Every structure is written in structure tokens, then in C-alpha cells.
Amino acid sequence: MARILWALLFLSACVEASITAAWKIPVEHFAPDYKTNDRIRKLEKPPGDSDFLQPGDELWDLSKGLTYLVSPPFREGDDPFAEPQKTKLDQPWYGEWLVWNARSGMVVACGSWNDILAAQRLIRFDELPMMVETRIELVTAGKEPLSLATKVNSGERASAEDKILGADLDALCAPSGVVDLRFHVSWPGPDKESPWAVASAVTFKDGERKKLACHGQGEGRWELFATAKSEYSNGVPVKEARWIENEGTVQVWPVLSGGDPKEGRIGDDLVVRSYLLSPYLLDGIGVGSDFTKLPLIEAPATHADWVRGRVINLHGILAGDVLKFEEQGSLVVFDPGSGRLTVVAAAEDQDAMGSYLAGLWDRSVPMTLWIETNPEVGGWGLTCRSGEEALITLGKGDKDGGPSFKIEPLAGDRDEIAELSYDFDVFIKGVRTGHLKSSTTLELGKPQEIAGQLADGKRAKAILTVLEN
């Protein structure tokens, strides 16, 4: 499922060879003083071989000039508008080399997986401001399509309008490129006085075009679409901001990309897995917000491919009735530099650990649904999300006699089942003939008859269908 993109989980591959990665990020974001900082120096020659480096490049050595900054998790009662109080970690970077390439505008790092992720933390890649470009399209039968485009900072609200379309948008995007959009779109109705309005929320993959709503049949039918693209404040598309060298080629390295988990082994009996944890997950596993005060240990040299340097030992916190970690060589540590939890344990302990973490991972990207009626009773259709109300109205809806379509789904324990509350007007042959208001249980992809309506002495079935959007 695409929702695991917001799980904040990244499992690393165990490799012996060094890895080289690069980030397209402005140097002012993490080292505005790089030309005057005594700990950052200009190099006379490249530190190593890489396709990210070319002869004559202006390179600056960052390996000793940056400091880790960590934030405690947000807690109830904290001021959401206050500037986060970050803590400096006196922790060296252990990789082979880390440079700023002025020609390409990229940070390039070489080292182990742990070093690469630690470098990403050092340059505060995850804190680079993001923006969402949204394009709204209205397609009406027999007319030229209309569109309205706007940009909004991630986490902020924006309004845009032209002579016909108007939109209020609240957008949020993740480094993975997933875009969350709450919207209210309006345009003039048939009598020019009472506007059509659509209000709901939807989740996009970066660059994806989705249908938001529709109504009517034939010449009176309209459909509303939206496309969302995410980019960083420096104009670089989110999906093109991180790169990696792989088997002699340079490739885009998607952030938190999906895929099967990868794992490594140490000897015959120990399995290694590594997880990138957000601050609140540290709180969830019992480390707490003051983890910088916990004692550090030196990671064993035998585990250097996965973790090295000074780390926090979590064995005493996590070992118990379910998590044993009794196999010789077992290790459970958190690296505050890279933000990774590394678990070295027997296979059964790894399974137990995975189940334990599954209850803590952030699976907060809501399931987006598409709910529609059959054409014979109005051809209503609307994107929506579990637990949230979605609405189409003409004028003020049922308050002044205008038509409306209101729904609120709730996904069940099985994703394919949805409980749906509905409240909408029935149109047969373009004429409003009734109103339906109730609730029902729907199964994904299976149309369900909910009522019958009469018009001109004929009976029409009202059918609802729910699909994953």
C-alpha cells in the first residue's frame, strides 16, 4: 500500500562497499558561513572518485564543520507556533568524505549506509521547506475545460480565484512526495447566482491527477480534477532532490520509497535490521524526549557495517517478556546522529521487534476513497477520506432548496469494508425526485442498491459504489 510512504521507516541494505549519495540542497540551509567557517575548508583536489564530481569542481570539505541538531517530540500543551528548541550533539561524522559541490549545488557524501543517513541528518535535509503546486480543472460537457493553478507552502493555506473558478487550499507534503490536500472549490451554477461548491480532502502521489467530484448526465454533467506536485524551496522537485550511485550509474534515490524490507546477517545466527525513527517513535519505545542525556556506548567493531561510533544502548529498555535478545552478539542501539534504531538479533526476536514497532509506526496517511451513485439517480461522485465529511452543494444545498450530496465514510478493520453515512438528492432525468439519508456498509468495488425512486411511473434503483482513489 502507498500509505507506508508516511510510515517513517527505512530499512537499509547491508553492504560492505562504500556508498556515494548526493542531495540537491542550498548550502545556505545548513552552512551559510561555509566560506568563513574555520572547520570547513576548500579542497585542492577531489576527495575520491565519483560521478557526482568533475575536474575543476569547487569543493568544500564539510566533514568536520557541521553539527547534529535534534528536536524533542511535540507534546500535548506545547506551543505549536514556538520555535523548536534543538539540542546540539557532540558527535563526529564517521564517513569517508563529505563535500559541498558549488558547481552542481549538491552535497556529496561517501561512506556506509549509517554514514550516508547521518550526513543527511547533518545537512538537515528533512527540514528543507517544501511547496505544493496544485492545478484544479473543471471539465463540463460541451464546454472548454477551465483550470486554476496556485502554489502554497507546505503546512499553510492559500486562496486563488479567476473570473470563474475559486479555491481555498490547505496543503501538506512529505519528503516522499505524498501530498495531502484539503480543498474548497467553487464556480457559478446554472443560474449564475447560486455557485457549485465542493469540499473534501484527498491524498496524492507526487504529480498524480485525481478526480475530485462529478455530477449529472449528458450535457449537464461536470467533472472536477486536481493535480499536485511538490518541490523544495529552491525549486527542485521533491522526487529529484536525492541521488545515489548504483553499479556505476547515478540514479534518483526516492525518499522513504516503498518496497520489500531488506535485511542483512552477521554470522549464521544473527539478523540485522535498521529503522529510521521519528522523534515521537523514540518516545513510544520508552527512550523519551531527553534521550541526549542517556549514556552512550561504543558500537562493537564486529557490527561496523551497520553502526559505529558512540550510540545509545536500548537493550535494558526493550528487553523483556516478548523481546528476549538473548543470542550472543545481540544488539539494540539508537544512533542519535543518523536517527537509526539498529537491531541485531535472532530471527524470532526480529519478528517480535517488527510486530512491536508496527504498533508505533506512523500510518497516518488516510485512505482516500471514491464514492459514487449510478447515473440514473444523479451521477454523483466525490473523493473523500475515512472519518471525514465531504460535500457537494449548489447554492446552500438543502437549506435553500439547492441539490446536495454529503457523505462521511469510515474504513473498517479490513480496508476493503467501509461504513458510509450519506445524505443526498436524487435526480432522475435531470429532475429532482427525492432525498435519501441513511447509513450502510459497502465493500470496495461492489455496487450496492440502497433504495428505489419513482419518476413518470417508472422505478429507478439508487446504487452506491465505493472505490479506493
Q: Residue 26: inside a domain, yes or no?
A: yes
Q: Which residues contact 319 (CB under 8 A, 6 or more apart)?
A: 325, 332
The confidence score (pLDDT) of residue 387 equals 83
Evaluate whether 60 touches 46 at the Cβ level (below 8 Å).
no
Mean pLDDT for the stretch of residues 386-397: 84
pTM: 0.70
Instruction: Label residue 50 by pLDDT band (50, 70, 90).
Output: very high
The C-alpha cell at 37 is: 567557517
Nearest to 172 by CA among 221, 146, 206: 206
Q: Which residues contact 111 (CB under 8 A, 6 or more apart)?
A: 18, 19, 94, 95, 96, 97, 98, 119
Q: Residue 219: inside a domain, yes or no?
A: no
Specify the residue for cell string 427525492.
434
Mean per-residue pLDDT of the chain: 80
Show the DSSP H helices in 57-171 as ranges. Answer: 113-122
Q: Which residues contact 191 (CB under 8 A, 6 or more apart)?
A: none
Nearest to 333 by CA among 379, 277, 386, 376: 277
pLDDT tens track for 12-33: 333 346 889 999 999 999 999 9
Strand partners of residue 371: 382, 466
Mean pLDDT for the stretch of residues 111-120: 84
End position of a domain, from candidates 329, 358, 387: 358
List Cα–Cα distances, 93 to 23, 79, 126, 282, in angstroms: 17, 33, 18, 22
Longest alpha-carbon distance in the chain: 89
Cα distance between residue 124 and residue 232, in whole Å: 13
* Domain total of the chain: 2
3 state DSSP class of 429 = coil
- State the distance between the two ends of the chain, measured CA to CA, in whole angstroms: 12
Mean pLDDT for the stretch of residues 136-163: 91
End position of a domain, from candidates 309, 331, 358: 358
Q: Residue 349: inside a domain, yes or no?
A: yes
3 state DSSP class of 291 = helix
The confidence score (pLDDT) of residue 15 equals 39
Task: Identify the DSSP state of 109.
Answer: E
Identify whether residues 346 and 371 lie together within a single domain.
Answer: no
Identify whether residues 348 and 371 lie together within a single domain.
Answer: no
Identify whether residues 404 and 317 lie together within a single domain.
Answer: no
Cβ count near 124 (within 10 Å): 16
The confidence score (pLDDT) of residue 397 equals 55
The strand pair at 222-232 and 209-215 is best described as: antiparallel
Specify the residue for cell string 463540463.
140
% of the chain surpassing 90 pLDDT:
35
Query: Beta-strand (E) ranges in 8-84?
Result: 19-24, 41-42, 59-61, 68-70
Mean pLDDT for the stretch of residues 228-237: 91
Q: Residue 210: inside a domain, yes or no?
A: no
End position of a domain, from candidates 358, 375, 408: 358
Burial group, residue 253, by CB count within 10 angstroms (0-12, 13-18, 19+) = middle
Instruction: Label residue 4 by pLDDT band (50, 70, 90).
Output: very low
pLDDT tens track for 365-389: 456 889 999 998 889 999 998 888 9
Q: Residue 197: inside a domain, yes or no?
A: no
Cα distance between residue 430 and residue 461, in whole Å: 15
pLDDT tens track for 396-454: 655 455 789 999 988 765 556 778 899 998 887 777 888 889 999 888 889 999 877 65
Identify whether residues 340 and 245 lie together within a single domain.
Answer: yes
The confidence score (pLDDT) of residue 42 equals 96
Range of the domain at 101: 2-128+241-358
